[in-house]
């Protein structure tokens, strides 16, 4: 509902679902979510390379492939994570008719671009036995706000779960579910029936 006076407009909602992160100025000063959300961070992000290889071993890797390199598969997708050392940890070759590949690394900002390129070339040679013919592109992507390991150790997710629905306020999104499409899907499939069971929804809205 909306109430308007000569100087202000006030809106009232059945519930508020927060899908992004900001200053949360709309929260009451001592709302417990403020302290919890202050624990979230923006990490250094990801670096990507687009390169053309001198050759591609189809017998070993097929015409197209997505590969996580060597022992790094142990940590991939886990809370332990991967080191910020600017060495590519994964590669994707999407087209059978070219030797152009994309690879991705967590950045070490103590290194300059030339040093990072040297590491990228070394890693592709080590993992694939392939030499880089030319570098087509290099980009830095900043990862969105996320829950760092130190916050997880302080039971961030359990505390968030306890806050969900207080004063009809809910928090959703990748920042709360962990990164990746599948993580978001798995999380929302638990979130919806827990907080919005179907028997509480009007038949016309089902």
Q: Which two tokens stand for residue 66?
A: 């997505």
In this structure, what token pair is assigned to residue 113? 């671009």
pLDDT at 3: 59
Residue owning tokens 């308007």: 4
Going by pLDDT thresholds of 50, 70 and 90, the confidence category of residue 187 is confident
Torsion angles phi and psi, residue 169, rounded to 5: -115, 130
Q: Average pLDDT in the 177-204 region?
A: 72
CB 192 within 8 A of CB 65: no
Is residue 45 within 8 A of residue 143, CB to CB? The reply is yes
Residue 146: how many CB atoms within 10 A of its CB?
Answer: 16
CB 174 within 8 A of CB 183: yes
> What does the pLDDT look like over 60-108, one tens digit per residue?
999 999 998 865 555 555 445 567 789 998 999 999 999 999 999 988 9
């Amino acid at each position: 509902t909306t109430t308007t006076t000569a100087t202000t407009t006030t809106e009232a909602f059945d519930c508020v679902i927060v899908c992004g992160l900001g200053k949360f100025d709309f929260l009451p000063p001592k709302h417990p979510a403020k302290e919890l959300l202050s624990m979230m961070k923006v990490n250094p992000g990801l670096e990507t390379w687009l390169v053309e290889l001198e050759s591609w071993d189809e017998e070993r890797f097929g015409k197209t492939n997505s590969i996580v390199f060597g022992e790094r598969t142990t940590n991939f997708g886990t809370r332990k994570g991967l080191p910020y050392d600017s060495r590519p940890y994964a590669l994707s070759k999407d087209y059978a008719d070219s030797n152009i590949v994309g690879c991705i690394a967590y950045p070490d900002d103590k290194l300059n671009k030339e040093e990072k390129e040297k590491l990228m070339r070394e890693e592709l040679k080590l993992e694939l036995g392939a030499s880089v013919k030319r570098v087509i592109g290099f980009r830095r992507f900043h990862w969105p706000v996320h829950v760092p390991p130190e916050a997880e150790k302080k039971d961030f997710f359990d505390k968030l779960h306890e806050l969900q629905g207080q004063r009809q306020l809910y928090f959703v999104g990748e920042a709360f579910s962990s990164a990746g499409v599948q993580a978001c899907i798995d999380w929302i499939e638990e979130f919806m029936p827990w907080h919005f069971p179907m028997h509480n929804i009007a038949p016309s809205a089902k």
